[in-house]
Amino acid sequence: MKTKSKKTRSQVARVTESIGNVFADVGLPNPEQELLKAQLTLQIYTILKGSGMTQVEIAKILVVQQPQVSLLMRNRAGNFSVGRLMEFLTALRQDVEITVRPSRKEHGALSVISV
C-alpha cells in the first residue's frame, strides 16, 4: 500500500492506495476468502433484489431463516461459508463454475465472473 498526502486549504488529507482487496488493506485474516464471500454475496443480493419474492419465500428456497435472508439483502455474508453461498446460488437456479488453472504469478488468485 502506498500512502500519499494531499493538501487542501485548511487540512492535510491522507490517501492510501489499495492493493486491490479492501479486506487485505484493513488487515483482516483470510482477505482473499473474505473478498470471494463478498463477491458471491453481491451476486446473491442482485438475484434476490430482482426476484420480486418476499424474504420469507426466499428463506424457504434457501432453507434458512428469514433473518439470514435479511443479512444477505444487506450484502452481509455473516457466518456463511463460501460453499454455503455457492449452494444458495444453485438453489436460486444459477450455475456455479469453478475453474482451476496455473497462475503466472507467485500466488494464485480467486475471482467471481458474472455473466
Judge whether residue 1 has pLDDT over 60. Answer: no
The whole-model pTM stands at: 0.74
Angle between helices 31-51 and 82-91 (to 10 degrees): 20
**All cell numbers assigned to 29:** 485474516
**CA 109 to CA 45: how far, in whole Å?**
23
Residue 44: inside a domain, yes or no? yes
- For 114, phi then psi, to 5°, come to -105, 135
pLDDT in tens, 42-97: 999 999 999 999 999 999 999 999 999 999 888 887 789 999 999 999 999 999 98
**CA 64 to CA 56: how far, in whole Å?**
9
Q: Tally the domains of the chain.
A: 1
Judge whether residue 7 has pLDDT over 70. Answer: no
Residue 55: inside a domain, yes or no? yes
First-residue to last-residue Cα distance in the chain: 31
Residue 18: inside a domain, yes or no? no
Domain that holds residue 86: 29-91
